[in-house]
Amino acid sequence: MRIAVLGGDGFCGWPTSLHLSNLGHEVHILDNLSRRWIDTELGVQSLTPMDSIQERCRIWREVSGNEIAFHLLDLAKEYQRLKQWLAEMKPDAIIHFAEQRAAPYSMKSDRHKNYTVDNNVSATHNLLAAMVETGIDAHLVHLGTMGVYGYSSVGAAIPEGYLDIEITNLEGEKKGLEVLYPTKPGSVYHMTKSLDQIQFQFYAQNDGLRITDLHQGIVWGTHTDQTARHEQLINRFDYDGDYGTVLNRFLIQAAINYPLTVHGTGGQTRAFIHIQDTVRCIELALGDAPEQGDRVRIFNQMTETHRVRDLAAMVSQMSGCEIAFLPNPRKEAAENDLIVKNDGFLALGLDPIKLETGLLDEIVHIAEKYAHRVVRKHVPCVSAWTKDIAQRVVHDPEATQLKSVG
Ligand code: NAD
Ligand code: USQ
């Protein structure tokens, strides 16, 4: 297949590009490199040293003999170029990772909120409009988030995208209806993914676009079979308070002996998936494309759930690192349960990689190797969800910790 990987320079996009190229597909990365610019804006860098995307592609060609093409293109701003590229290249499949994906970054200020909405909603809509206009019959696979469902538990498992409900009509008869599961985003970033869902629903029903939406949990780990093949194929590994995600952050914190930064009581339960399973799920989704006229196919792309304080306890036990319970900069439930259905990928043959100490050790070793690149003052999460929280929870640069005032 000829596959366009939008956002292929990122944490999930790069290993996916390598995985698909390794399987023999013709891979084209389209990326505006905005994520690298955001690192510059924030004054941070990936824990792992990343080469330029051109250099990464050159090394991959040397290592594998396979070509990955790179195209510098902004999906949200360069509609005409996008349309032209699709019309010329006619990809069989398009994998869409190209969005601003950090919840804390999306909540930093009104500018960051606006940027996240403009970028994510326009990128997705430009893509959908261009697919219709060019008439290409590509299967679109989008990376969405578990966060569209919200995390509050009603004691029932979260289904894969759709909910069967019953309503009473004007004659008093009970009628069955299938609806998108009610969305309850917890940040402006998560809100853009909820808006994406509606865009997909419309274009699938109106224009017959073939769309798969993957509601992914928090991705942990860094290496995949391909990124481990050469030092310069190494994946991005974010540790900072905006882009680092919870388990990867705890592992890096353990490596530099920084007390593990648990928000509140650490009672939040989240869904997780290893990066190697992410790339495998995308392969599986590509092999199971919907037909024209089908509803949007939705998979819950996660393999297990964990409570944040349990993860901290696990990492603390294996590393001896202390745990710090900090005031929570987010507006979120102090405690939640999460039960999630993931039958779709299991039925397609996914054999989940579960969180176990051996794999965690491997990540701590990577973190220790590059620990000299960590800037400790960038470790705490300081992006507050509301002005009120910002006033109550302040960042003390001396202590490089969050603390409460008042
Ligand atoms: P990332 O930030 O590392 O990568 C995103 C890539 O998209 C970057 O290379 C960026 O430069 C590019 N991009 C952003 N806007 C663009 C635009 N307008 N035009 C062209 N390129 C653009 O993020 P990631 O962790 O690889 O996540 C990829 C996708 O998976 C995101 O959509 C995210 O919402 C989703 N996801 C990620 C996680 C996770 O834990 N990392 C979990 C669930 C879902
Ligand atoms: N948390 C801590 N300490 C930290 C960092 C986070 O306690 O140092 C807590 C947060 O308060 C939150 C939970 O851990 O309750 C998860 O935070 P996170 O930053 O790991 O994940 P999140 O903001 O939800 O976002 C990440 C990705 C996003 C993806 C989402 C999937 O950045 O792109 O969509 O995971 S999900 O969480 O399932 O919605």
Distance 167 CA to ligand 2 centre (A): 35
**Mean of all residue pLDDT scores within the chain:** 95
For ligand 1, whether the C-beta of 95 sits within 6 Å is no
* Mean pLDDT (whole number) for 263-291: 97
Six-digit token string for 378: 């960038």
> Strand, helix or coil at 24?
coil
* Mean pLDDT (whole number) for 123-140: 98
Backbone angles phi and psi of 308, in degrees to 5: -55, -40
Q: Active site residue: 108, 193, 227, 269, which one?
A: 193
pLDDT more than 70, % of the chain: 97
Q: Which of 119, 145, 314, 385 to mutate to test the pocket of ligand 2 (most atoms within 8 A of CB)?
A: 145
Residue 193 annotated to the active site: yes
Q: Which residues pair with 401 in a beta bridge?
A: 396
* Mean pLDDT (whole number) for 43-51: 97
Residue with tokens 């069989």: 92
Six-digit token string for 80: 């005409």
* Mean pLDDT (whole number) for 234-256: 97
Residue 189 annotated to the active site: yes
C-alpha Rg value of the chain to the nearest Å: 21
pLDDT confidence of residue 405: 45
Q: Is the pLDDT of residue 358 over 80?
A: no
Residues 271 and 300: beta-carbon distance below 8 Å: yes
Q: How many CB atoms lie within 10 A of CB 394?
A: 16
pLDDT more than 90, % of the chain: 92
User: Is residue 263 very low, low, confident or very high in pLDDT (cuts 50, 70, 90)?
Assistant: very high
* Mean pLDDT (whole number) for 187-194: 98
Residue 145 annotated to the active site: yes
Q: Is the pLDDT of residue 400 over 50?
A: no
Six-digit token string for 359: 């794999």
Find the Cα–Cα–Cα–Cα dihedral 396, 399, 402, 404, rounded to 10°: -70
Q: Is the pLDDT of residue 86 over 50?
A: yes
Q: Active site residue: 145, 192, 224, 278, which one?
A: 145
For ligand 1, whether the C-beta of 237 sits within 6 Å is no
> What is the 3 state secondary structure string of 104-145?
HHHCCCHHHHHHHHHHHHHHHHHHHHHHHHHCCCCEEEEEEE
Rounded to whole angstroms, how far apart are CA atoms 189 and 120? 8
Q: Atom 6 (ligand 1): residue with closest C-alpha?
A: 7
* Mean pLDDT (whole number) for 13-17: 98
pLDDT confidence of residue 356: 81
Q: Is the pLDDT of residue 269 over 90?
A: yes
* Mean pLDDT (whole number) for 150-173: 92
pTM: 0.97
Q: Which of 218, 301, 338 to mutate to test the pocket of ligand 2 (most atoms within 8 A of CB)?
A: 218
Q: Is the pLDDT of residue 120 over 80?
A: yes
Q: Is the pLDDT of residue 13 over 90?
A: yes
pLDDT confidence of residue 238: 98
Rounded to whole angstroms, how far apart are CA atoms 277 and 187? 26
User: Is residue 181 very low, low, confident or very high in pLDDT (cuts 50, 70, 90)?
Assistant: very high
| Burial label, 23 (beta-carbon count in 10 A; 0-12, 13-18, 19+) | middle
pLDDT confidence of residue 361: 84
Nearest ligand to residue 333 Cα: 2
